[in-house]
Structure 1
């Protein structure tokens, strides 16, 4: 009997997980239809060209990994530049290098040696190490002391989570990396960079030759879409897929305000964090610096954290005990389903880009090569 289904796979979501899955399936002779509710591919990695600058429309995406195979994999589609993430923190007009390193300690205290810096941190933190931390504030103070905590952690964290630090669980900050070297490289990974020409080059390469339909609300036409393929791969919110049967999973959201400025260089760095609680945005991005741009104008983006809702795009899962237990109910139900679930929203997990790609490669290898 000849099947009436046109595709082997319907893939819901044209972000990195869906694009990698589709590419790997196509390599093995499978047919795929990729649908996405947005009007573009690439998910949150999408770049919008403004004033000839690749603007990261959904916040900064800096690719970094220790996995050479994944680094080589993405570079097969587009060469990556040598961008190194070296953010700066602004607290009441004073600038501090991130992550916390010898440059930061010099800016805070004028210390010039690791021993001097360690002595101050030990002196400030030891008084908070006498009891088990009951919240994030107590945990952070026991790790780094008052100066780093109050200037560079407290306000930023309260904005990011929308809650007082004393209301946040201690486990959110299990450790705070302190570097006793003059190294402003935020990531420790061996490979780091930005695709030359923007992330659309990567997404486009992955989805080359694959049927893609944009502006498609999967849930409005679910029965007809599922009927087009032998199997569905779902990369959206797992709670939405099951119509919130066990309750809604909680996320933090973001709002992005993009602005074109008629100057060549606004802040001299791609990422500057604003750590004061009374400044409503967490950071300002200047996108041209991701690709060492020399354009006559510049584009900046202010990031405002907010509570996510059903209507707003979810960004950061709130992986507390309540939400994780709720997710496990969905995961258990999904394990009995014929649908394949993968990616940040379907797995209710904060994935970096290399982890999303790795998860998709692992899934397709297991599916097709075993």
Structure 2
């Protein structure tokens, strides 16, 4: 029996959607399988009270890659939103990233020289490499910033004490001695004016899609539908956890419509104390300068991933990286023997920014399709 499709693409997030778009442009017939009831993976947005709600957490696009920026803007309009989050520690507010506004709020320092001197007086100097995240943070920024802006947030994020987290998680901490609250230093930054779902819809125009369809329930049956498969899901799940289970962190979101025009005055607030159970509060209308009479606010909770949950980011410690290395070898063999292409953060067990995911898919498509 001949295959009905050229490519079976598992997952409709950015990685899968970009590959599908490029293949469809080149006259290939694609089938996209999506296990969720909607397109877009974690960048999915839906309209509530006239506001594009980022249903799986804030997604602020930023890149230094002119090609990627041009690519997404050719599909939908991006605004010029600048990410300027605020940290809330026990009710006290601090600008992020760590800059002169932060230092002034902490210590009253008014010049870069004063701020640098205060930081140096707080730093802990070890006669060895820092053994964990706490020591790494103390060596970089000292006690005040660690206790107020790093410790509580990080321990909620990873559900582990900072003394049990590897130092490399914060190998560097950006310190900016200017009064600039722009979190990113990328040349290009913004958010789709109509939400990311419009971008995904453009990418998947002309492609056949099946929602509520889990590829892993009948892997061989689905693969038989196409000449080749592109897989963007969890790499250990693809191989039925044959080598062991990789660890991930998950997230839970509480969305609430509030009968007020402006709740927190900024898109993202990080709650850096240990007492607040959630890590972030997101007010979506600020992403597109909304003026609606109501607002939608989302609280984000960090969770240990369990089977059945959505995995959001990998736990990149030494043991997991070693296990992923074995899965990566299995994936190479699968690509060589069956032509299966592995794309995206879950298949690569890596944290990808959106522009990195898009560029990787563009390059994979070119390698595959422009032979």
TM-score for both structures, normalised by structure 1: 0.98
Moved over 4 A (4+): none
Name the structure 1 match of 2:63: 65
Structure 1 gaps of 5+ residues are none
Indicate whether 1:292 and 2:272 are aligned.
no
Equivalent residue for 2:235? 238
Tell me how far apart the structure 2 counterparts of residues 133 and 64 of structure 1 sit (CA, whole Å). Answer: 31
Asked if structure 2 preserves the Cα contact closer than 8 Å seen for 1:128 and 1:138, the reply is: no
Secondary structure class of the residue paired with 2:46: strand
Q: Secondary structure at the match of 1:230?
A: strand
Counterpart Cα distance in 2 of 1:220 and 1:159:
33
Q: Work out the CA distance in 1 between the residues paired with 2:264 and 2:72.
A: 30
1:146 aligns with 2:147: no
Which residue pairs with 2:269 in the alignment?
Answer: 272
Tell me the CA shift for residue 128 of structure 1.
3.2
Cα displacement string for residues 187-215 of structure 1 (whole angstroms, at most 9, x for unaligned residues): 00000000010001100000001101100
Partner of 2:298: 301
Q: What per-residue deviation string (whole Å, max 9, x for no partner) do you get for residues 70-94 of structure 1?
A: 0000001101001000000001111
May I ask how many residue pairs the two structures share in their alignment? Answer: 367
The CA distance in 2 between the partners of 1:304 and 1:26, in whole Å, is 38
Cα-Cα RMSD:
0.9
Aligned to 2:103: 105
Match of residue 348 from structure 1? 349
Alignment match, 2:28: 30
TM-score normalised according to structure 2 size: 0.98
Provide the rounded CA distance (Å) in 1 between the counterparts of 2:91 and 2:8: 51
Give a deviation string over 1:32-73, Cα, whole Å, max 9, x none: 000100011110000021111111000000000000110000
Could you say what secondary structure the match of 1:185 adopts?
A: coil
Whole-angstrom distance in 2 between the partners of 1:301 and 1:130: 44
Residue 199 of structure 2 corresponds to 202
Q: Does 1:333 align with 2:335?
A: no
In the alignment, is the contact (CA less than 8 A) between 1:282 and 1:302 conserved in 2? yes
Q: Does the residue aligned with 1:216 lie in a helix, a strand or coil?
A: coil
Cα deviation, residue 278, structure 1: 1.5
Counterpart-to-counterpart distance in 1, 2:205 and 2:110: 53
Q: Distance in 2 between matches of 1:168 and 1:67?
A: 32
Mapping of residues 226-265 of structure 1, within 5 Å? 226-265=223-262
- Where structure 2 has 5 or more consecutive residues not aligned to the other structure, the ranges are none
